[in-house]
Structure 1
Amino acid sequence: MSAGAAEGAGQLPFFVYGTLRPGEPNHDLCLRGRTAHEEPARLEGAVMYDGPGYPYAVEAPGGVVGDLITAIPGEYGELLAVLDELEEYFGAGDPANVYERVAREVLSADGTPVRAWVYFAAPRVGRELRARGRLIAEGDWRAYVGPYSPTHRDAPAG
């Protein structure tokens, strides 16, 4: 399903797996006060690489740990714009994209498949990561970097 078709089918939740997760710095900056529901989730068919400083999901056999975020009614359009800007997503297939926003099924906390927006590494970024990147084998950003605190690690973008 194309991004436009998915948007026309309804307002999809977002699967976040790095600095946008609850308790992470970009959650506070971008999501606080705009979410109606947040729950643990898992994306199958993807692996995670260190950016460095922030993660990228790349489609490949594996799994990525994250959270499913549902926007407060009335906040969806603004939230979508904020996340697209943060992730440097300018439109489907734009060569300047750092991430591509793609609709994928993720597994909610109870194992139910839910269609959600996922920001994957753009093709050029994904090629570079596959060639020279640092794979986060467990697919869990928090397990990889440890708990966030402003004195423990920088507040990265992405």
Structure 2
Amino acid sequence: MMTPEGDRLPFFVYGTLRPGERNHDVHLRGRVEAESPARLPGAVLYEGPGYPYLLEDPEGGPVRGELITALPSAYDRLLADLDVLEVYAPGDPRNLYERVVREVTLLDGTTSRAWVYVTAVRVAARLRASGAVIEGGDWGAFRSRR
């Protein structure tokens, strides 16, 4: 499912941008209209150096996170800031993540299209070969167990 770069979709966050995590206040405070718990099916989390990697896997999931709806006045700047945080630039082979559109499911069962930062192919191959899966797909629960 493709969308023009100009679509103002919400963001599905699953790691350090979740409420209570270190990047939430830095990047989202004062820029968010709504935050709702959500799940992304068909994905798994892998351990990273202080943050998780999300890889698409039809047999995996769900990954737990939040659907973040930006304030309209903050959207463009937030999108640019998140792209920098996630080391993403359209078409750049050095990307750490790719920003893609996926359907996420809210707790009431409704779905929403959202931007999701998924691990770039070159990084995903390394993780699949030798990375550690975060069981249960919940970064917050994983961090609290450590």
Confirm or deny a common fold (TM above 0.5).
yes
Deviation of the 1:137 alpha carbon: 1.4
Letter in 1 for 2:20: G
Q: Residue 95 in 1 paired to residue 93 in 2?
A: yes
Deviation of the 1:109 alpha carbon: 2.2
Runs of 4+ in 1 over 2 A off after TM superposition: none
Deviation of the 1:94 alpha carbon: 1.8
The CA distance in 1 between the partners of 2:117 and 2:144, in whole Å, is: 22
- 1:109-148 counterparts in 2 under 5 A? 109-146=107-144
**Gap runs ≥5 in structure 1:** 148-152, 154-158
In structure 1, the residue matched to 2:27 is 30
Q: Secondary structure at the match of 1:115?
A: strand
TM-score normalised per structure 1: 0.87
Deviation of the 1:2 alpha carbon: 3.2
Aligned residues: 144
Give me the CA root mean square deviation: 1.5
1:62-103 per-residue CA deviation (whole Å, 9 max, x = no partner) reads: 210000000011111000001000000011x42110000000
The CA distance in 2 between the partners of 1:43 and 1:34, in whole Å, is: 23
Letter in 2 for 1:108: L
**Gap runs ≥5 in structure 2:** none
In structure 1, the residue matched to 2:2 is 2
Letter in 2 for 1:131: A
Sequence identity, in percent?
Answer: 61
TM-score normalised per structure 2: 0.94
